[in-house]
């Protein structure tokens, strides 16, 4: 008797997590691996956040909380949205979720009807496609072009819209490319969406990790006329180095947020109570460690780009505006050599792991099979050594 349903049978594990597991397995066998696959900052969670968690434990904050999150946290989130992002929000239109991931997953669960289309610009974060497919939605992947800095143009968006478009996902800054939309670019996308009823899903989890003069603007602020159909998703994982604590949140139209809370009440209930108190400290406490962390990423990105520029066959489209990844294309290498090692990103990334001892994520997971993603959330020496080893491995194929 086969018990698994079609959803389960079609569901693949997250490829970023799969790579990490493979790298760890090799490391445990004693094989040296430089792990550049990771999607989490390399600093520890700041001390004042940990202290808040310890205090919560000592104070006995160990019981169920409101499903949507403790009031202090929903207030802190609503304040943050209002003050930092220019988004109208209040504690009754905030839901605190088990990471940004759960916010997105429940959002699609409560909005997608079978056959609904969701526009997903590629390269995209790995989980968007399965998250849309699970409730029966149809991902409409629109490939953003490298020559446009991997950003969706208004024209491309317009031609992907149909009467069945239920939602459009905007992830700025983007995982994996680091591309981020300026206020003007968001407004231009918004102008196209005026003619549709599509919900706008804005995943802003990398908002605080931005470089140079780029100024981050929330989608709901950039397109005020459509603000009442934007759901903004964020979380503490990346900016506060709290990936393991699992705190995400969302704000948006009250009926949608309330439906997400109802779903949560029938599935996971509240997220960990202790993590919620830590999250209040994170959002309301000192923020000074963030620019230091961002400087570290920036320096490593510059160093890595220096090596990639000197590696024929590899190319990065400009310096990322945000996040902490480099999306490296090897299309030129694939064209210039006739080797099975460059036939697809899975084969190439496997080669890099075996030949160079460097773990990266295949671009296929992000909708581009001629690319791979590395993370700079690793010590400077790891990033430069890893890239140098990749450079040598590429030269060995090209020879």
Q: Give the shortest CB-206-to-ligand PLP separation in angstroms.
A: 7
Q: For residues 315 and 245, what is the distance between their CA atoms, to the nearest angstrom?
A: 35
Contact residues for ligand PLP (CB under 6 A)? 39, 99-101, 125, 171, 175, 203, 205, 235, 237, 243, 248
Q: For residues 359 and 126, what is the distance between their CA atoms, to the nearest angstrom?
A: 17
Q: For residues 44 and 51, what is the distance between their CA atoms, to the nearest angstrom?
A: 13
Q: List the structure tokens of 245.
A: 């604590």
Q: For residues 65 and 282, what is the distance between their CA atoms, to the nearest angstrom?
A: 19
Closest to ligand PLP by CB, 105 or 391: 105
Closest to ligand PLP by CB, 172 or 217: 172
Using Cβ positions, the residue closest to ligand PLP within the complex turns out to be 99
Q: For residues 326 and 309, what is the distance between their CA atoms, to the nearest angstrom?
A: 13
Q: Give the shortest CB-127-to-ligand PLP separation in angstroms.
A: 7
Q: Give the shortest CB-39-to-ligand PLP separation in angstroms.
A: 4
Whether 89 and 144 have beta carbons less than 8 Å apart is answered as no
Q: Give the shortest CB-201-to-ligand PLP separation in angstroms.
A: 10
Closest to ligand PLP by CB, 341 or 371: 371
Q: Give the shortest CB-60-to-ligand PLP separation in angstroms.
A: 27
Tell me, rounded to whole angstroms, the distance of Cα 125 from its chain centroid.
Answer: 5
- 352: DSSP letter: I
Tell me, rounded to whole angstroms, the distance of Cα 344 from its chain centroid.
Answer: 23
At residue 117, φ and ψ (nearest 5 deg) are -100, 140
Whether 118 and 169 have beta carbons less than 8 Å apart is answered as yes
Q: List the structure tokens of 226.
A: 């459509």
Q: For residues 218 and 89, what is the distance between their CA atoms, to the nearest angstrom?
A: 13
Closest to ligand PLP by CB, 126 or 352: 126
> Residue 374 belongs to what H/E stretch?
strand 371-375
Q: Give the shortest CB-334-to-ligand PLP separation in angstroms.
A: 26
Closest to ligand PLP by CB, 152 or 393: 152
Q: Give the shortest CB-175-to-ligand PLP separation in angstroms.
A: 4
Q: Give the shortest CB-42-to-ligand PLP separation in angstroms.
A: 15
Q: For residues 392 and 297, what is the distance between their CA atoms, to the nearest angstrom?
A: 23
Q: Give the shortest CB-374-to-ligand PLP separation in angstroms.
A: 14
Tokens 């990844």 belong to residue? 325
Q: What is the CA radius of gyration of the chain?
A: 21
Whether 126 and 15 have beta carbons less than 8 Å apart is answered as yes
Closest to ligand PLP by CB, 313 or 362: 362
Minimal CA–CA distance to 36: which of 385, 320, 296? 385
Closest to ligand PLP by CB, 41 or 248: 248
Closest to ligand PLP by CB, 139 or 313: 139
Closest to ligand PLP by CB, 160 or 275: 275
Q: Give the shortest CB-322-to-ligand PLP separation in angstroms.
A: 11
> Which residues contact residue 80 at a Cβ distance below 8 angstroms, ignoring those fewer than 6 apart?
283
Beta bridge partners of 99: none
Closest to ligand PLP by CB, 125 or 277: 125
Q: For residues 238 and 323, what is the distance between their CA atoms, to the nearest angstrom?
A: 9
């Amino acid at each position: 008797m086969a018990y698994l349903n079609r959803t389960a049978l079609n569901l693949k594990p997250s490829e970023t997590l799969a790579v990490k597991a493979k790298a760890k397995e090799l490391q445990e066998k004693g094989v040296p691996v430089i792990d550049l696959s990771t999607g989490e900052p390399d600093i520890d969670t700041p001390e004042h956040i940990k202290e808040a968690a310890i205090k919560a434990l000592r104070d006995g904050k160990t019981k169920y909380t409101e499903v949507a999150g403790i009031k202090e946290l929903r207030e802190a989130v609503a304040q943050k949205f209002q003050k930092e992002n220019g988004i109208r929000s209040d504690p009754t239109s905030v839901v605190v979720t088990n990471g940004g991931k759960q916010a997105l997953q429940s959002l699609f669960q409560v909005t997608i009807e079978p056959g609904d289309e969701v526009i997903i610009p590629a390269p995209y974060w790995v989980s968007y496609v399965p998250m849309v497919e699970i409730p029966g939605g149809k991902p409409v992947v629109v490939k953003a072009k490298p020559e446009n800095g991997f950003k969706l143009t208004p024209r491309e968006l317009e031609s992907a819209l149909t009467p069945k478009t239920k939602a459009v996902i905007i992830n700025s800054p983007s995982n994996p490319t680091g591309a981020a939309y300026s206020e003007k670019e968001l407004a231009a996308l918004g102008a196209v969406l005026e003619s549709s009823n599509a919900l706008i899903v804005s995943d802003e989890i990398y908002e605080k990790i931005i470089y140079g003069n780029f100024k981050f603007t929330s989608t709901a602020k950039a397109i005020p006329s459509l603000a009442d159909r934007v759901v903004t998703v964020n979380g503490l994982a990346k900016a506060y180095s709290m990936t393991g604590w699992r705190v995400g949140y969302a704000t948006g139209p009250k009926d949608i947020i309330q439906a997400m809370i109802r779903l949560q009440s029938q599935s996971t209930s509240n997220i960990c109570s202790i993590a919620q108190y830590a999250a209040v400290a994170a959002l309301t406490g000192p923020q000074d460690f963030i620019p230091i962390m961002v400087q570290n990423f920036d320096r490593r990105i510059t160093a890595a780009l220096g090596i990639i520029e000197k590696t024929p066959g590899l190319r990065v489209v400009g310096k990322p505006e945000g996040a902490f990844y480099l999306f490296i294309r090897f299309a030129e290498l694939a064209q210039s050599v006739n080797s099975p090692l460059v036939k697809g990103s899975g084969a190439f990334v496997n080669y890099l792991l075996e030949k160079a001892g460097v773990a990266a994520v295949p671009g296929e997971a992000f909708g581009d099979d001629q690319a791979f993603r590395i993370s700079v959330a690793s010590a400077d020496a790891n990033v430069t050594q890893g890239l140098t080893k990749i450079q040598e491995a590429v030269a060995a194929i090209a020879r």
